[in-house]
Amino acid sequence: MSDDIGGSGYSLEDLSAYLDRGRVPRIAAIERNAECQAVLASMERMGRLSREIVEEQAAEPLAESWYDSIMREVMREFRAGRDIPLVRGSDGVEIVVTEGALYELIRSVGDGVDGVLVGRVRLQQNEPDAPLDVRVSVSVRFGRAMADAVEEMREGIRAAIQRHGDLRVGRVDVTVGDVHVDGEEDQ
């Protein structure tokens, strides 16, 4: 498996260093590459979440394995760059979206839902013109109504995918796989 992200010639470590430098100097091969941009957006989001958790739970340092496991999942998703057809014109022109772009779209929906952290995302489309089925696992903040969080995620995912392309959305399954605690509450 190559460390090269999206054919850019840059690895995850390179992108991390680039982000740490504030994207200075600008590297066109990274800035023009959709997969690199998606990975950078995920890294920025992870950084924000990590800082929020550290601020809220300053007494308990984050385990390095936590960050590593999430970054492994992010990289697994972006390497699964299967093209999913959006539009097929009568002139033979086909417009596609990569799975990685859809993963990022779904994760951005989760960023907008209060008290939800997106875990694993799975996409399935059995035939090119079949509806796209989406399965997402999430962690919900303790005290947040799970049914409301799941419904908000489900509706947000369906709306975002339909708004950004001509994909028919089939099942949208959102599973709460974990509950996380904000603040310094003892369980």
Q: Under a CB-based contact definition with an 8 Å cutoff, are residues 19 and 40 in contact?
A: yes
The pLDDT value recorded for residue 126 is 81
Q: Give 11-36 pLDDT, tens digit per residue.
A: 888 888 888 888 888 888 888 888 88
- The model carries a pTM of 0.56
* Dihedral angle of Cα 138, 80, 123, 129, to the nearest 10 degrees: 160
Burial class (CB in 10 A: 0-12, 13-18, 19+), 70: middle
As a whole number of angstroms, the distance between CA 14 and CA 51 comes to 21
In the chain, ranges of CATH 3.30.70.1350 domains: 81-187
Q: In CATH, what is the architecture of 81-187? A: 2-Layer Sandwich (3.30)
Give the strand order in the sheet containing 116-124: 116-124, 132-141, 169-180
Per-residue pLDDT band at 176 (split at 50, 70, 90) = very high
As a whole number of angstroms, the distance between CA 102 and CA 113 comes to 17
Per-residue pLDDT band at 99 (split at 50, 70, 90) = confident
